[in-house]
Amino acid sequence: MQAVSPELLRRYDVAGPRYTSYPTADRFVEAFTEADLVNALAQRSARQPLSLYVHIPFCESLCYFCACNKIVTKHHERAAGYLDYLAREIGLQVARLGAGQPVTQLHLGGGTPTFLSDDELRRLMDMLKAAFALVPGGEYSIEIDPRTVDGARLAVLAGLGFNRVSFGVQDFDADVQRAVHRIQPFEQVSALMAQARTVGFDSVNVDLIYGLPRQSAESFARTLEQVRQLRPDRIALYAYAHLPERFKPQRRIVPSELPGGAAKVAMLSQSLEAFLDAGYVYIGMDHFALPDDSLAVARRQGRLHRNFQGYSTQADCDLIGLGVSAIGRVGPTYSQNAKTMEEYCDLLDHGRLPVVRGLALTRDDLVRRSVIMALMCQGQVLFESVEQAWLLDFPRYFAPELEQLRELAQQGMVVLDEAGIQVTAQGWFFVRAVAMVFDRYLQADRNRAKFSRIL
């Protein structure tokens, strides 16, 4: 697969959803209540595998680029109280699900999950293992701020059962790190990655961001070379979305220090070229993996899936979100917990699941979700399979969308024929733009500024 031209990258540098779900979270409504989630839990097929997401909101220091739901504090004693409330939420979920439900995927995100002490992480994992059955061979991952761990802590994490670790790198340039208030030298991350491999993690990954203040194509090229030296199993490459009106920490970033559009396109272009030349497989959107990584294998075999944590090798399954602001998916519903600690704790104090909004999907939502996820994960949609699953006439049902796709076909993004839609090798770099054609809500809503740019 060859990288694409800067001209094409500029043309498709537009705002759009990431499609970790469809409909997207901005469509959730407060009319969806705890009763709706309880009903969905009661109707799910017993013993079907689950995915778990646990949100740990605490951070010791503020990263200016951050758009996550977090609580910045140096008072580590707050974590113990939070675990008490997580225990209550887990208990309420298990009372409705039944104990010992099999789990094939667990992800700890934040915030900074490693804000918790070793004993607190051990307590959390003990709680989860007592409530659920973590299946051998599952994918158990944790996000790590390199400033919060050492070799001994990595060994503890491996001993607790985590087999995948993701280091938040963003950029190795010291000037960029000062601009975003996150200092972590290359040598520190390099040593930690080597130690993570020594203690037995199956996959050691890094997250990068382009478009940060004081970044340039030249400075980012140096970071790319350093990442190539580290050779992580997977790389997530995100575009920085500067939305200070929505995310207060970003107001500390000096707008004049942000790279312009041309510089961002240059950084993306050189990133694609650098990683492909280094032998990485482009998984889709913003993810790369080494050819023998399970994500790359799943991509080749057409077994790729997508959930709120991004691309996954795990089969499509229900997701239980635990903690402040966590999002879950059960059957044809999405639900989100309270976003503030006060409301989250208050609901649990009253013996209620802390759900404050969500969505019950309509038939049209489910049809479109199946199409969008097929595009995002397999890069193709076969009309006959959709027609048989949903008892509809695809060309008639999606006539306006197919008309829009003809323009993308002329630009070499997709191939359209009587059998279906095939995303081309070039179009795979812009698969979000292809999926957006089938987003009924987005097509009706021209205010797309709330989304990050698709590149």
Residues 192 and 63 in one domain: yes
Supply the pLDDT for residue 1.
Answer: 47
Taking the C-alpha atoms of residue 325 and residue 339, their distance in angstroms, rounded to an integer, is: 4
List CB contacts of 195: < 8 A, sequence separation 6 or more. Answer: 150, 151, 154
Residues 191 and 242 in one domain: yes
How high does pLDDT run on average in the chain?
Answer: 92
Taking the C-alpha atoms of residue 331 and residue 361, their distance in angstroms, rounded to an integer, is: 9
Residues 101 and 222 in one domain: yes
Tens digits of residue pLDDT in 103-125 = 999 999 999 999 999 999 999 99
Residues 288 and 405 in one domain: no
Of 321, 54, 307, 282, the C-alpha closest to 162 is 54
Residues 178 and 305 in one domain: yes
Supply the pLDDT for residue 310.
Answer: 81
Checking if the pLDDT of 29 tops 90, the result is yes
Distance of CA 90 to the CA centre of its chain: 22
* Structural domain of 61: 20-319
In the chain, how many domains are there? 2
Over range 67-94, report the average pLDDT: 95
Residues 311 and 405 in one domain: no
Residues 422 and 273 in one domain: no
Q: What CATH number is associated with residue 110? A: 3.80.30.20
Residues 310 and 422 in one domain: no
Checking if the pLDDT of 425 tops 90, the result is no
Checking if the pLDDT of 52 tops 50, the result is yes
Residue 384, φ and ψ in degrees, nearest 5: -60, -40
At residue 300, what is the residue type? R
For residue 2, name the pLDDT band (cuts at 50, 70, 90): low
- 15 falls within a domain: no
**SS3 category, 183:** coil
**Where is the domain boundary, 319, 348, 375?**
319
CB burial string 62-97: b at 16+ within 10 A, e below: ebbbbebbbbeeeeeeebeebbebbbbbbebbbeeb
Strand residue runs (E) in 292-442: 305-307, 310-312, 318-322, 327-330, 333-337, 355-360, 380-382, 414-416, 420-423
- 4 falls within a domain: no
Most confidently modeled range among 190-199, 260-269, 306-315, 424-433: 190-199
Pick 158 or 298 by higher pLDDT.
158
Residues 227 and 295 in one domain: yes
Supply the pLDDT for residue 6.
Answer: 73
Supply the pLDDT for residue 107.
Answer: 96
Taking the C-alpha atoms of residue 36 and residue 447, their distance in angstroms, rounded to an integer, is: 29
Q: What residues pair up with 422 in beta bridges, in sequence order?
A: 380, 415
- 3 falls within a domain: no
CB 240 within 8 A of CB 250: no
Parallel, antiparallel or unpaired: strands 420-423 and 414-416: antiparallel
Parallel, antiparallel or unpaired: strands 318-322 and 380-382: unpaired
Taking the C-alpha atoms of residue 400 and residue 10, their distance in angstroms, rounded to an integer, is: 26
**Where is the domain boundary, 266, 297, 319?**
319
Supply the pLDDT for residue 3.
Answer: 57
Over range 230-239, report the average pLDDT: 94
Rounded to two decimals, the pTM is 0.92
Q: Which tokens go with 403? A: 């008309």
Containing 234, the helix (H) or strand (E) segment is: strand 234-239
- 126 falls within a domain: yes
Containing 50, the helix (H) or strand (E) segment is: strand 50-56
List CB contacts of 417: < 8 A, sequence separation 6 or more. Answer: none
Q: Which residue has the tokens 């390099």?
A: 190
- 160 falls within a domain: yes
Supply the pLDDT for residue 452.
Answer: 56
Tens digits of residue pLDDT in 398-413 = 999 999 999 999 999 9
Supply the pLDDT for residue 453.
Answer: 57
Residues 275 and 377 in one domain: no
Supply the pLDDT for residue 451.
Answer: 58
At residue 240, what is the residue type? Y
**Where is the domain boundary, 296, 319, 342?**
319
Ordered strands of the 355-360 beta sheet: 281-284, 287-289, 234-239, 203-210, 164-170, 132-144, 101-110, 50-56, 318-322, 327-330, 333-337, 355-360
Q: What percent of the chain has pLDDT over 90?
A: 77
Checking if the pLDDT of 385 tops 90, the result is yes
- 66 falls within a domain: yes
- 352 falls within a domain: no
Kindly calculate the radius of gyration of the chain based on its CA atoms and give it in whole angstroms.
Answer: 22
Taking the C-alpha atoms of residue 132 and residue 106, their distance in angstroms, rounded to an integer, is: 11
Q: How far is CA 80 from CA 62, 120, 270, 322, in A?
A: 21, 7, 44, 16
For residue 285, name the pLDDT band (cuts at 50, 70, 90): confident
Pick 447 or 151 by higher pLDDT.
151
Q: What CATH number is associated with residue 418? A: 1.10.10.920
Checking if the pLDDT of 388 tops 90, the result is yes
Q: What percent of the chain has pLDDT over 70?
A: 96
Least confident of 50-64, 189-203, 306-320: 306-320
Residues 223 and 371 in one domain: no
Q: Which residue has the tokens 């980012």?
A: 220
Q: Which tokens go with 80? A: 């113990």
- 377 falls within a domain: yes
Taking the C-alpha atoms of residue 376 and residue 5, their distance in angstroms, rounded to an integer, is: 21
Least confident of 13-27, 53-67, 178-192, 283-297: 13-27
For residue 446, name the pLDDT band (cuts at 50, 70, 90): low
Residue 100, φ and ψ in degrees, nearest 5: 75, 20
Residues 302 and 389 in one domain: no
